[in-house]
């Protein structure tokens, strides 16, 4: 899996998002609000959550091939992150 370096200055977080991030960092081991790696991890979690929503919709529309493909991709990401 390739990764792209990013600068925190590129991401503009609202005060509400920053507060949520700070609170999450109190509960999630290794989560550092000012770390690009932590933000990448959070972005990945958001993608997985969105994937779950899309998967549920695809399942309702009998798109089983899409459901399998999305599930496989999400599982690979979770497995690679060693959560």
The pLDDT tens digits of the residues spanning 8-22 come to 557 777 889 889 888
Confidence check: pLDDT of 62 > 90: yes
Distance (Å, whole) CA 59 – CA 53: 10
31-45 average pLDDT score: 83
- Cβ–Cβ < 8 Å for 68, 76: no
Q: What is the pLDDT of residue 46?
A: 85
What sections of the chain are H helices per DSSP?
15-27, 36-60, 64-81
Distance (Å, whole) CA 66 – CA 31: 32
Q: What is the pLDDT of residue 1?
A: 46
28-40 average pLDDT score: 83
Confidence check: pLDDT of 78 > 90: no
């Amino acid at each position: 899996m390739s990764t792209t370096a990013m600068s925190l200055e590129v991401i503009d977080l609202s005060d509400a998002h920053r507060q949520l991030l700070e609170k999450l960092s109190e509960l999630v081991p290794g989560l550092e609000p000012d770390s690009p790696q932590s933000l990448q991890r959070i972005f990945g979690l958001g993608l997985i959550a969105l994937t779950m929503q899309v998967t549920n919709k695809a399942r309702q529309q009998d798109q089983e091939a899409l459901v399998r493909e999305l599930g496989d991709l999400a599982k690979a990401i979770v497995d690679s992150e060693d959560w």
